[in-house]
Structures are given as C-alpha cells and as structure tokens.
Structure 1
Amino acid sequence: MNKKQANANLFSARPFASVLLTSILLTATTANATVVSSEADAYALGIDLSLDIPGVNLSVDVLAPTGASGIAPSPFNNTNSILGSDLGLGTQVTVAPTLSVSLASPSDAAVLEATASSNVDGTTGSRDASGNSTATGLTLDILNTLLAPPIGIAMPGTAVSISASALNSTSTVSGDYGSLSSTGSSYIADLAITLFGTPLIILGPSDFGLITDVNGGLSTSPNFEALNVGGIVGLNLILNEQTGSCTNTLCDLTVNALRLSFDAVDISSFGLPTNGLLSGTLAGDITLGHSYSQLAAVDNSVAVSTPTTVSLFALALLGVAFSNRKLVIARKS
C-alpha cells in the first residue's frame, strides 16, 4: 500500500468515527436532579376576625402556636406548643353603656401544638417536607356579649362555639425532580358547633354523609363544604380543606382540618340577647389544624438544546462531505 492509499483509507474512516462520537455526545445525559428548597409551617388555631359596628371596630389576628415553620436548604425540625390560657385574644370592650363585647376566647386548658420539618440539604436524591398541627381539649367561643341591664342580672351570650376533644392535620410533600407528590389528612374528634347554644344539624353524619368512627372522630373527603350554616347567610364551613398542586419542579399542599368563614355576616342573625344595642357585620376566618409543606426541584442533567443539536449534526455532515471530497482527490492523484 503506497502513501496515497493509506491517506485515502484514513480519510475514509475518520468521518464515520466523528459522526458516531458526535451522536454519543449529543444523546448522553446524567441523571442528577436536586431538590433545591423547601418550606413548611403549621399552627393549631388561626383567628382572623373583624367586627364592624357603629362607632367601633374590633379585630383579632392570631396564629397559635407561632414559630413552627422553616425554610431549607439546611434541614430543620421546629416544634412549638402553647396553652389556651396563654393566648392573648383581647378583652371585653364596652360598646354601649350596658353592653360589652369580645371577639374570641379559647378554653384555658386547651393544648395547641405544631411541627414543621424538612430534610432538604442541597444534595441530590429524594427529599421531603412536612407540617403537622394538633389540638386537644379545645373550645373556642366567637363573638361573646355581656348585657348588663340597669336592673336585673347580667345576660351573657355567645354567637358561635366550636369544640373538639382532639384534632390534627398533616401535609407532606416528597420526591425528586419529575416525581414530586403530596399527601394530606385531617381528623377531628367530638366536633361540636353551636349557634347561641343550639347545636348545628349540619354536623349530623346521616344528613351530610360525614363519617364518624367509634371514638367519635369525624373525617370527610377533601374540601367538604357547607354554605350558609344554620341558615345564616355568609357563615360557611369547610372540613378537611386541601389546596395545592404538583409539577415536575414545584409541589405544595395546604391542609386545614376546619375553616369557618364569616363573609360580612349580619350579627343580628345570631339572635344574641343585646336588646338591639348591637348591630353590624362580622368578617374573617377561624382555622383549626393548619399545616403546609412545599418542595422545589431542578433537573441538573447535562443536555444540549434541540437547536444546538441540529446545528452540531449539520456540521458533522459537512465534515463527512468535506472528508469524502478529499478522499476523491486523493484517489485521483
């Protein structure tokens, strides 16, 4: 074999090796996804109420217990608890010469707990984040009035009372890029809601398909909703409220065991014994058993975009054509 023939064989082999190598480089990826951040928080009792009456505006905005939250990277596991007797929700306010009003008061012996945790540390692999809240022995009275007539005995009245021997909610998100998922649940034992001392029929399991176990625990499918509870316009109840979504890169879930909302409720509809001294609207939300969790992930795989892939493949073909042209010239000479 002379030198020209050797060169011709060399040029003949190189283009195919070049195309093969280029194809391998263009299709090679490295599975290396990372959960880059997470959040979680929880509280057992949330009150955001505003009472708008002529000449007076009362409001309560409190989350209890506070401090059970976290943001990662850097794993966290934060827990807090509080007794109902330690909650400062305001005192009675005099709105008329013989009438005092307070927006909310919890039972002193109630125990409220919350936990937020995550193991996200910035490295690759499946991770999770979780929020959890619990309460025991809770009774919450909303819109308490005390009428003290000039003559006679003072007459107390409570518009709405919510009680439960135990309740909890949990929100958990877990996984990796492309496989993030969420799970949530809630449970309420011995739930009772009354309007000025009258139990609500809405909580009858046979009436609304609610499920109670042998221990008096109440559970429902997510987002059980009852509007205008007790015939009061704007008084709405949601049990096992769950909201959130999951994509390849982001997953979040909020769970509320119970949310009672007041949409500009006319307080005269509660029938409180105030001798017509109290009028106005009540707005806001009462939330029991709140939990929240979130994960965010990215795909770290080494991949070439489609336009770049096409351009490189075209250059490879041009290289083949040029090499073949040199091969023809070499053979002719």
Structure 2
Amino acid sequence: MRNSFKLALIFVVFMGFQACDQSEENTPDITQEEFPDLKIFLDRFETEAKRRGYNFNFSGLDIAYVDEIRLSDNTTYCGIGYNRNPQTGRRTVLISKNPTCGWSSKSDLDRESLFFHELGHAFLNLPHDETKMCNGRYLSMMTEVVNQISLYKENEPELREYYLDELFDRLAANEQCIDFGQNFAENPVFFKNELSDPFWSFSNDNGNYAVSRGIHPNSSTTFLGISSTGNGQNTGYIYKQLEVPNIPEGATVILRTKVNAENLEGPGVAIAMRVYDTKIGTTGASVNESHTLTTEPNPVNGKLENHVLELQLPNFTRKTIFLIPFAVMMPGTKGQAFFDDFEILVEPK
C-alpha cells in the first residue's frame, strides 16, 4: 500500500503498448488456499505484461509473506512495494499475514489487485493515484485504498482489463471520463502556495540562503521568500513535489509568480519547473526528467515590483508522475526576494 520511492530531484519516457482483447484463457483461476505461493501472482503479472509487449527479468525482485509490516514510525501496512529496499537495495514486494489485513479471506482477484499494486510501486516505479472516474470509481489500481475495496470482480473482465492496461500505460486512462475536480476553463488555478500546506522543501546551500513562507502584512498575498548575503556558491531554492497531477491530456500548464524585491544585487532570481515520467525496462521501470523549464539563464534583479515570471509547458501528458515547481535565487545574489501568488494554471486543449 505504501510507495517507498522518494524522489531526490532525479527524474524518462513511458513506453506503453495497447492490450489485446480479454479472452477466457486470461481469466485467472480462483486460489483457495489461505496463503498461496505469491509466485502465482507474479507469474500472472508476467503473463499480462507479455500480452502488452513486455518481457521482464524478475531476478532483481524479491517477493515474500511477512507476519507484519511495521515501519520505523510504527505505522503498519498490509502490503508494501519498495523499488529499492532500504535493507537489501533490491526491488521488493511484501504481503502481511497479519489477520487484521484479511489476506487469507480475500478473493483471488482482490489478492491479485493488491499484489499488482505493490508491483506498481516496486517494479513500475509508480506513486499512489487517487484520481477518480466520473462514475466515482478509482481511475487507477494505484489508489491507496486498494486493500479496502474490490476494484473488479469475476464478472467484470473488461474492467480488469482496463486496470491492467492503465497499470502498464497511464495513457489508457484517457479512454475514461475523468473527474478533474474542477472546470479548468472557469477556474484555471490547479495549484497555489497556501500557508496551510506544510509539505514544501528547500535547499539553502549550507545556510547561505534564508528561505521563508508567509503572508505579507496588511495583505492576503502569500509568498515564498529567499534571501542571501551573497555568499551562496550554489542556487538556493524552494520547491514542491506534486505527485500524479490530475490535469487533462494536451493541456498547457503554466507556472506563474510575481516577484518583489527592494534591491537585488548580483545575478538575481528565477523560477523553474521539472516534469518526470517513467520508462519501463527489462528489469523494471526507471524515473526520468522528461522536461526542464527554467528562467535561470535570464534571472531578474534590481528593484522589482510585481514582476511577472512565467513558464509554459504545452501538451501535458498523463504519463507524468511528478511535477515540481521551484522558486530560485542564483549563486552570488545579495538581498531578499518575494515570490508572490506562486501558482500553477491549466489551460485545457
């Protein structure tokens, strides 16, 4: 259920193949044992992969039952997929035998979907995806609640076929009616800096930059702030990792902010946006930086009053698994800058 993959600013092109039609030979047998050999499900995964044009080598993958999955923060899970196990460095899928997880009483297909979900983390390098279809169903097998629901049943072979198609190729979701959560034509703001959101990261070059987030006095405008005395040898930056952004295929994605500064000396400040997808290889998937957009070659400095910085990513694709916007101060810059109304907008195709 939990994806161990943590992005460290390393990010590839996803190679998808259309699936063949579902046939009776591809309908799985019902497994009656309480704890059947997990290789049954791995073999099934391999069969489905071959139907979609992939020939995998699983020699670098470990699969096993364990009595309990408990992490260092004391949280427990019914299944876990590591694309790099912290103990062994190998791709790993673990399934818990803990009675509270209910594996022994699950249907064959519910076991399959949980095991395939963890392989999605461990072998296909996919994060969780909570997007829904217009009918309320989850769009992807990578939903975090896969262990709590039945994604598909024995009498729903076409639905099973879709979920497996989407597992290997995220573009399969474009055949569905997707609930984007908003009408981008009326409300184009997909993301903005909100003070209530604690999940931001930064790099201060060993203390050579001071970074901050807040609201300007006597104003409702939120800001990202970066300042330096000019001693920075590397860039200082603040960034936010957005996983599996729910944006329509083909849309234009715009990163925009207004920069304010009293007197920036030196190179100045910029914004950047990095986009990542996955590439499936014989021994599993890797994560690749598919696009890098930045104003760093032309930073702005001096006195800045609501100076607009903007980047545009045309033709967004649902192959994207991470989208990361940055506010940046260049090395050797002295002074303080505020990135106000830092937001991402979406213009549908």
Range into which the TM-score falls when normalised by the shorter chain:
under 0.3
TM (normalized to structure 1)? Answer: 0.23
TM (normalized to structure 2)? Answer: 0.23
Structure (1 or 2) with the larger CA radius of gyration: 1
Q: Which has the higher strand share?
A: 1
Q: Which has the higher helix share?
A: 1
